[in-house]
Structure 1
């Protein structure tokens, strides 16, 4: 057994070698992504859709599962998100619109953490401005404030359309909590004109139109449970027509065409006039 104790110079040379190997692997990964993009173009896959929120969540969960020591989980996530986001341009340009009222920096920082330092971003002072940007496609992704009762600008009913080009919720941030950061308690949804993608552990968001007073939440939850949907009400709003609109989160990945959705809509027409799936997101990783 050698008694040799490496010097600082030896250790620094080892770090240089490791840095070279990491850079070579990053180049190989970029080349692999380029081949994926070329294959998609050749096969015409996914109708031009290149954002894969479910696939990306699976990658991050797998890496976090095998992560043991060294970097904090939030730092590991940041490194991989920087790499994933920087390679978007190999398939299509990406721009992020961020709802940041009063030019607040916290949601901007959260978007930058997840979508990388090189991704173009625009600040929008209203939620409707973000939705317009995603609709008209100057922006690919929109980062939205979490809905809550009594908010001045209620944006989520604007997604309650079955038109194919309607933006959908595809992610929730932060994906991994960072207890050391000042944005640890902030949350937001991400919208895009691309369908949400199942990741294996998901939540679905539904807008329910109720004909009666919004106090009928208990009856609503009962009907959802009877249809086989585990749910909770996140927010509610009464529109100018007097119809109460409820934002409901359902456990699991539930497309609008799911039989359970049909069963729920038909359960009590006197109470429920319609229910529209407005998106789904991979469940964020719990703080360890």
Structure 2
């Protein structure tokens, strides 16, 4: 008897029945996980009371890493991790919904970063400025905040770095978002009639070559955010004015705009890194990064002496930024990222070495390296 006669016919109805059965199993297991999350909340409240911490950045990073490590496909690792990210977000909301402040308004890439990191089962709190995000978290009105810190094309966000000087907040995580810009118009606007293009100044810079080539005669107007640009374009469209905006998919959906050109950023690898700020230290997750603020002594070789500490201990420094100290003329503050948790032996050795050479060393936080 041939192998073909032993095979069960994989007809469409049979395959659909199989999918329905699998869906039922998945749903049961998700609810079982949710019930476990509720019991976790009960245990934490009984043990810690009002000081109970429900969101554990290091724990979530470990879970998502394991999801990706054991994934066998055909879904990709990141797609599988995104599914579990939302399951975890929904389960955490059963314990205690989190209020997340972010640089607004709604529809910004910062909101996209917040949803990517925390999932969609959060209470969103858009803020008008980066320092407002810090104040919202410092006051306890928000559990965490999300702020941009650097873009692969345009560089560091100085306002974010400067906000750490006097803040007691800790960096609790990071998230990277691929930035895709679209040229958006209101449905009743003809793209060939567009005379003005609104966007944030960084987005205009990230699309400069494309705009020079395809829209050289349109006036470019910088506004406070891409979401604000989308709002203005939608408002102009209702008034019959031919105005376009450069913004992302979230803003497009929020304001009912259509993309006449997609992915117009000059560099296809255009990525923005965002930081998660909170009020507590994060334990080691096994794959971490530490950020420092260092005020160097005003003496010859000061920067060399700082960098030499990393070379001596074999610690990988991943980022170095310089900002004026504002305390003395020609004085500088250094922001440094390196791989490792500040409680690791090698990291402690580096920090102690730096403390002996610098005027001030402030640990801004140790946190899991971005998983998604």
TM-score by length of 2: 0.65
- 2:176 pairs, out of 170, 174, 177, with 174
1:42-191 map, 5 Å = 42-44=46-48, 47-100=51-104, 105-147=108-150, 153-160=158-165, 166-174=168-176, 185-191=271-277
Q: Does 1:32 pair with 2:40?
A: no
What is the CA deviation profile of residues 119-154 of structure 1, one whole-angstrom value per residue up to 9, with x for unaligned ones? 121222321011011111222111111148986753
Cα distance 1:125–1:215, how it changes in 2: closer, same or farther (>3 A)?
farther
Pair 85,184 (structure 1): closer, same or farther in 2 beyond 3 Å:
farther
More strand by share: 2
Compared CA separation, residues 47 and 127, structure 1 to 2 (3 A): same
**Displacement, 1:63?**
0.9
Match of 2:342 in 1: 254
Any conservation in 1 of the 2:150–2:273 contact (CA below 8 Å)? no
- Give the SS at the match of 1:70: coil
CA distance in 2, matches of 1:152, 1:253: 24
Partner residue in 1 for 2:306? 220
Preserved contact between residue 93 and residue 122 of structure 2 (Cα < 8 Å): no
Which deviates further from its counterpart, 277-286 or 193-202?
A: 277-286
| Per-residue deviation, 1:92 | 2.5
Under a length normalisation based on structure 1, what TM-score does the superposition of the two structures give?
A: 0.83
| Residue 193 (1) aligns with residue 279 (2) | yes
Contact 2:102 2:145 in 1 (8 A): yes
Q: Alpha carbons of 1:47 and 1:122: their partners in 2 closer, same or farther (altered >3 Å)?
A: closer
Q: Secondary structure at the match of 2:98?
A: coil
- Work out which of the two has the higher radius of gyration on C-alpha atoms and give 1 or 2: 2
Q: Report the counterpart of residue 245 of structure 1 in structure 2.
A: 333
Aligned-pair distance for 1:12? 0.9
The residue that corresponds to 1:263 in the other structure is: 353
Pick the aligned partner of 2:27 from 23, 26, 40: 23
Query: 66-75 or 254-263, which moves further after superposition?
Result: 254-263
Q: State how far apart, in whole Å, the 1-side matches of 2:300 and 2:74 are.
A: 50
Residues 147 and 234 in structure 1, CA contact (< 8 A), matched pair in contact too: no
1:232–1:12 Cα change, 3 Å: closer
Aligned residues: 276
Q: List gaps (5 residues or longer) in structure 1.
A: none
Q: Give the 3 Å change call, closer, same or farther, for CA 55–184 of structure 1 in structure 2.
A: farther
Q: Secondary structure of 2:101's match? A: strand
